[in-house]
């Protein structure tokens, strides 16, 4: 099995620049680099998730490097845009582009527990003098997903809304179900916070279910780093009228799974995901919201 030029995951504390701390769903990534060009952008949703002090869950060092094709046991292939490989002492993400050919423009190598790692970017593929975010989507999301799969939480395709009293409502659905539509309706309501119009993280912390905003927003561009206790789940579906439809337990769990990001390569991660969704359905009301896109849908949710 070829190691390539990247080698196993490794980190260094020699960087003269302080780490950039990114905190998403109470999980912290510490990013360091010896090159100041490898850092966060000055704008965009991810900047809302910067913190000044937190104990890192994973430490990542970024550097330029010359990359070649690597081999290994392929655990997952996301349609040619990225692949996850397993080696004896590491897990590797390869990022490729049809426009650039088979050689990755970026590789990320982590220890099997995802506590430390290194990102290497193929220097010829990036213009000189350009600031580059080493964890640029989808890597930042993939890294958080690895941490969540360790019994910490689940990410779902959903809009998350916090009402004026601080209660969180999850509006889950696949593409086209109406997440952005419902987010824009709630955005007009005074005192309401939209955590995201596309991706929400669910976690059980200290015996309570919480939902968290993420930087990976949808068409409405809505994201927020806050969290709220989960009070209800609404499974979205467009309809000719607006109504709430009760869901059987198994049906509700299945629909949440269909809206999630399952770690297919991890049996323990899959078991945890099913367990967490089972807890969600047992703990808070889970109903289908079949709706016409107007304020009547919000009124129905408020009265339920």
**Interatomic CA distance for residues 23 and 32, integer angstroms:** 15
Return the half-sphere exposure (C-beta side, CA atoms, 13 A cut-off) of residue 210: 17
Cα 273 versus chain centre, distance: 14
Query: In the prediction, which pLDDT does 101 show?
Result: 83
3-class DSSP assignment, residue 190 = coil
- Residues with Cβ within 8 Å of 172's Cβ and at least 6 positions away in sequence, in order, are 156, 157, 158, 179, 233, 234, 235, 236, 255, 256, 259
On the 0-12 / 13-18 / 19+ scale of CB atoms within 10 A, 294 is exposed
Query: In the prediction, which pLDDT does 130 show?
Result: 85
Consecutive H or E run containing 251: helix 249-258
**Interatomic CA distance for residues 10 and 66, integer angstroms:** 16
Spatial contact of 73 and 85, defined as CB atoms under 8 Å apart: yes
Q: Which of 221, 234, 229 is nearest to 162 (CA)?
A: 229
3-class DSSP assignment, residue 227 = strand
Spatial contact of 172 and 158, defined as CB atoms under 8 Å apart: yes
On the 0-12 / 13-18 / 19+ scale of CB atoms within 10 A, 299 is exposed
Spatial contact of 233 and 285, defined as CB atoms under 8 Å apart: yes
**Interatomic CA distance for residues 295 and 277, integer angstroms:** 29
Sheet with 58-65: strands ordered across: 50-51, 20-24, 27-33, 58-65, 116-122, 101-110, 91-97, 82-86, 73-77
Query: In the prediction, which pLDDT does 50 show?
Result: 97
Domains and CATH numbers, the chain: 20-136 (no CATH), 154-303 (3.40.50)
pTM: predicted TM-score of the whole model, two decimal places: 0.92
Mean pLDDT per 10-residue interval, the chain, length 304 residues: 35 63 98 93 92 97 85 83 89 90 92 97 90 96 98 99 98 96 97 98 97 97 98 98 98 98 94 98 98 97 94
Spatial contact of 108 and 93, defined as CB atoms under 8 Å apart: yes
């Amino acid at each position: 099995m070829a190691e390539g030029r990247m080698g196993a995951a490794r980190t260094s504390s020699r960087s003269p620049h302080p780490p950039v701390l990114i905190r998403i769903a109470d999980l912290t990534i510490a990013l360091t680099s010896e090159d100041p060009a490898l850092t966060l952008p000055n704008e965009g949703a991810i900047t809302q998730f910067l913190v000044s002090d937190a104990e890192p869950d994973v430490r990542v060092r970024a550097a330029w490097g010359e990359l070649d094709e690597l081999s290994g046991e392929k655990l997952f292939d996301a349609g040619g845009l990225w692949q996850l490989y397993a080696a004896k002492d590491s897990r590797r993400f390869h990022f490729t582009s049809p426009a650039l050919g088979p050689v990755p423009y970026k590789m990320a190598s982590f220890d099997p527990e995802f506590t430390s790692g290194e990102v290497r970017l193929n220097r010829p593929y990036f213009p000189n003098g350009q600031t580059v975010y080493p964890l640029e989507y989808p890597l930042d999301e993939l890294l958080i997903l690895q941490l969540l799969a360790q019994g910490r939480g689940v990410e779902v395709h959903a809009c998350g809304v916090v009402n004026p009293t601080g209660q969180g409502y999850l509006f889950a659905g696949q593409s086209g179900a109406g997440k952005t539509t419902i987010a824009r309706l709630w955005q007009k309501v005074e005192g309401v916070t939209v955590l995201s119009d596309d991706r929400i993280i669910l976690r059980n912390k200290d015996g309570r279910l919480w939902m968290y905003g993420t930087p990976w927003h949808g068409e409405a561009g809505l994201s927020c780093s806050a969290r709220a206790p989960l009070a209800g789940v609404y499974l979205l579906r467009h309809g000719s009228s607006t109504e709430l439809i009760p869901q059987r337990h198994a049906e509700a769990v299945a629909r949440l799974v269909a809206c999630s990001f399952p770690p297919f390569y991890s049996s323990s991660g899959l078991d945890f995901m099913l367990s967490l969704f089972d807890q969600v359905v047992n703990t808070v009301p889970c109903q289908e919201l079949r709706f016409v896109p107007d304020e009547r849908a919000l009124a129905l949710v408020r009265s339920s």
